[in-house]
Amino acid sequence: MAASKLTWRQLFAALGKRKSGAMFVLGFAAGLPYVLITGTLTAWFTNDGIDVKTIGVFSWIIIIYGFKFLWSPAIDRLPAPPVFNMGQRRAGILLLQGVIIAALAVISTASPQTQIGLIALAAVVCTFASSSQDILIDAWRIEVADEETPLDVLSSVYQVGYRLAAILGGAVALIMAARMGWNATFVVLAALMAVAVAGVFIAADSPLQNKKIGIGDGAPPPRWRNYALTPVLAGWGWSFAALFGFMAFALTRPDLANARAFTTQMGPLIVLASVIAPVAAAALMLRASSLVPSAAAMRPWPMQGAFDSVCGSVLAPMADLIARLKWAVLLVLVLVLSYRFADLVWGAFAFPFYMGAEFGALGHTNDEVAIASKVFGSFMTFWGIALGGLAILKFGRLPCLFAGAVLAAATNLLFADLASGASATDAFMSALHLYPLFKLLQPLADFLTLQVAVDERLSRLMVVIAAENLAVGFASAANVAYLSSIVNARFAAVQYALLASLTMLIGSLGRGALGEMIEAEGYAAVFYLTAALGLVAVVASGAEWFRQARASRAAARSVSSSRPAPALAPGTGQDRA
């Protein structure tokens, strides 16, 4: 059933299904480790006086999310572990959640000032397990969607659970850390992750689990497949070596590392090797399938089974995208690479901006940031997700995708104003008499025993965060729904992981350079830059909207022209009744 055809009764019925409940808890389990590694850890670092440049380099750990499609074939094809007699998806999720809990426990024992290497190692393990968990959760969501619980509903419920994790992993962590220290706080956070294991037991097994993905009929012969795959594997290996080699160097010798130079010089090559090369190889493999092979081309290589496994799990799904989208796959790649850049690239610096004291930072306390960003802000994100979900049902995915890109880029200008003295924000709030309205939140802060005065300074931060989180929630719901709509269910885990990873890749690559830019030019200049770069996603999403609308009109005309002319009543010239 198309999401746009749902009635209100059907929508509420879908939300009450067991699948929706499981999706909510699994969304929480996916969101908690992400928010802890990308946000809460940077708040800890800021409190402990770690400089912005180091935080920027450390945040490159999250680039693992941008490469998770590389191991998604292995995760997708592994047989079901013998865990509680579960299917492949659920058992895999459960085991990975155990690894995440253990990694968070290790972080809880360390000190950023003296053991940042240990924290980095545990964060790498946590991020790898978390991104692998995401692969299985995303595949489960796509595979269990049906008429009663449509994919768009599950996607929105997933986002709500994900954002709830942002509240508990952000606001609760900040408030507790101000009172009991960060080490004890991370013990509690690891316990919260343990509670989220319940989602695995609520979920039903996927109907497509343990499904073997083959090369497919009409594939080119073994040697041609191997020739296409070998440079792809080499490019992936080089990308990993370059990225993690630089990360290790930068964390051990921060005085010599130049993240901006690395990003500008090596970033395009990494994108070429890890994204463009596999797509080109898949296109060549698709083209070669129509050629007549020689006898030599049919001879297998040593370890041909391993080559076929990777080819069938990576290049074949990519070739499927190319076969279905044709040249439009280039537009889709640009859209996916750029869509979340404006808000993702500076995410690692949110807490340093709110809580720091240099480069135009705002100097707020833990409690102030907790109520402004992680309580009030997350509440606004919920509204953004809900608005996005309802807008998708009413107007469709693509108009919402375009609107989300515009909003995400524009809200960066509001943060630039805050970093420059907040003159425009102050004029806006004064003209609309919003300051007294925010004063009404003072009783809430007092009730929560927070050491917060909801004054004009904090009110300005709250209104800007409200605007950004509404935009981010809306854009997230639209992006998840769009990515889910263009994958083939046969390759659900691999294709969705590929597209979702590309959304993370560019923003992750840019973070290292951004830390140095902040120290050199200040936060305001960075926000103006990210707003300008967000225009790429605006143009790409508008072009994709136009492309799909034109394709729909062409399909409708084709169907109309293929219908036979109505029969006429003899001698009347009129249609039969």
Tens-digit pLDDT profile for residues 457-507? 888 999 999 998 899 889 888 888 888 788 777 776 667 767 776 777 777
Residue at 497 is within a domain: yes
62 & 97 share domain? yes
User: What is the per-residue pLDDT across 287-344, written as a single tens digit (0 to 9) for each?
Assistant: 776 655 555 556 666 666 666 666 766 777 778 788 887 888 888 888 888 888 877 7
User: What is the per-residue pLDDT across 515-562, written as a single tens digit (0 to 9) for each?
Assistant: 888 888 899 998 999 899 889 989 998 998 888 888 777 777 776 666
161 & 262 share domain? no
Residue at 565 is within a domain: no
Residue at 576 is within a domain: no
255 & 367 share domain? no
Residue at 492 is within a domain: yes
Residue at 561 is within a domain: no
The residue range of the domain holding 256 is: 214-325
Q: Structure tokens of 12?
A: 């509420």
User: What is the per-residue pLDDT across 489-499, written as a single tens digit (0 to 9) for each?
Assistant: 777 666 776 77
pLDDT score of 309: 65
The alpha carbon of residue 198 and the mean position of all alpha carbons in its chain are separated, in whole angstroms, by 23
151 & 223 share domain? no
pLDDT score of 259: 76
pTM for this predicted structure: 0.75
Of the given ranges (24-28, 196-200, 292-296, 562-566), which has the lowest mean pLDDT? 292-296
313 & 333 share domain? no
Contact 58, 127 (CB under 8 A): no
Per-residue pLDDT band for 577 (boundaries 50, 70, 90) equals very low
pLDDT at 211 over 60: no
66 & 156 share domain? yes
pLDDT at 76 over 80: no
Residue at 4 is within a domain: no
User: What is the per-residue pLDDT across 250-295, written as a single tens digit (0 to 9) for each?
Assistant: 777 777 778 778 888 888 888 888 778 888 887 787 777 665 555 5
CATH number of the domain residue 351 falls in: 1.20.1250.20
Report the mean per-residue pLDDT for the chain: 79
Measured CA to CA in angstroms, residue 572 lies from 560, 564, 565, 576 at distances of 25, 19, 16, 9
349 & 287 share domain? no
379 & 466 share domain? yes
306 & 345 share domain? no
pLDDT score of 438: 82
The alpha carbon of residue 89 and the mean position of all alpha carbons in its chain are separated, in whole angstroms, by 20
Question: 188 or 276: whose pLDDT is higher?
Answer: 188
292 & 341 share domain? no
Distance CA 463, CA 468 (A): 9
Measured CA to CA in angstroms, residue 36 lies from 33, 241, 534 at distances of 5, 25, 25
Residue at 174 is within a domain: yes
Distance CA 130, CA 61 (A): 12
143 & 288 share domain? no
Distance CA 193, CA 190 (A): 5
Which of 325, 342, 362 is the last residue before a domain boundary? Answer: 325
Of the given ranges (122-136, 139-153, 270-284, 413-427), which has the lowest mean pLDDT? 139-153
Domain count, the chain: 2
Residue at 87 is within a domain: yes
Distance CA 313, CA 317 (A): 6
pLDDT at 412 over 70: yes
Element (H, E) at 389: helix 377-395
Write out the DSSP string of 204-248.
PPPTTTTPPP---TTPPPHHHHHHHHHHHHHHHHHHHHHHHHHHH
62 & 92 share domain? yes
